[in-house]
Amino acid sequence: MSEPDFTALQQRMLAEIAAQTIYASVQLGKAALNRRVMDVLATVPRHEFVPLELRPFAYANTPLPIGFGKTISQPFIVAVMTDLLDVQPTDTVLEIGTGLGYQSAILARLAQRVYSIELIEQLAAQARHRLARQGYANVEVSIGNGCGGWPEHAPFDKVIVTAAPELIPPSLIYQLKPGGKMVIPAGLPDAQQLILVEKDASGSVSTKEIFAVLFSMLEDSEPD
């Protein structure tokens, strides 16, 4: 497919995200996502972050397999999670679950620095390659168990998790700055909710369920 073909498909994806946002406006509390988020979704080439054989489907509003039993999330879910995170240009963001790097690229355009952890070494290697090829120099990818976060670079302004633990890992809450936000799917496989976690200036934590989701499970548990 040619670049003009991808551009047309990307515009259709944005229209579908906008329509689905209106449909979910009660749960989201608004009928449109932040313009900065939509503008970034319009510029990051999603087809560069899917397996080659799936590039024609890169802008379909559906999850796509990326190997190793993992998927790249549905564009609408990427958009909503990014919007809920409210990333600012000065933010340092922790991402758990790099995949092939699409969400990392979105965050890289919105934040000052992104630290991303991927459990599967082959996916992490591909993500580094794809991000470097697109010129994203403010993303660092590490291989490991995301449940423990990344203490060396903590605390973080924002945390985003793209796989679902049954319970929110305490390490990730601990590594969130006062005034920070985390977006994470959590719950049993058949009862997951997308959750917005907020830590106020005093360090008190509150959670809000947004809507039901279905993510692959966050592998391994909180380290001992």
Q: How many CB atoms lie within 10 A of CB 23?
A: 11
- 73 catalytic? Reply is yes
pTM for the predicted model, two decimal places: 0.94
Residue 52, both tokens: 């080659």
From the list 73, 104, 116, 216, the catalytic residue is 73
pLDDT tens, position by position, 143-162: 999 999 999 999 999 999 99
Is the Cβ–Cβ distance between 94 and 104 less than 8 Å?
no
- Give pLDDT tens digits for 21-59: 999 999 999 999 999 999 999 999 999 999 999 999 999
Q: How far is CA 211 from the centre of its chain?
A: 16
3-212 under CATH 3.40.50.150, yes or no:
yes
The mean per-residue pLDDT over the stretch 116-133 comes to 97
CB 96 within 8 A of CB 172: yes
For the stretch 75-104, what's the b/e string if a residue is b when 16 or more beta carbons lie within 10 angstroms of its beta carbon? Answer: bbbbbbbbbbbbbeeebbbbbbbbbbbbbb
Report the pLDDT value the prediction gives residue 220, as an integer from 0 to 100.
Answer: 61
Query: Would you kindly state where each structural domain of the chain is located, as residue ranges?
Result: 3-212
Look at residue 91 and give its three-state secondary structure. Answer: coil
| Cα dihedral 28→77→166→104 (10° resolution) | -120
Amino acid at 217: M
The mean pLDDT value for 121-142 works out to 97
pLDDT at 224 over 50: no
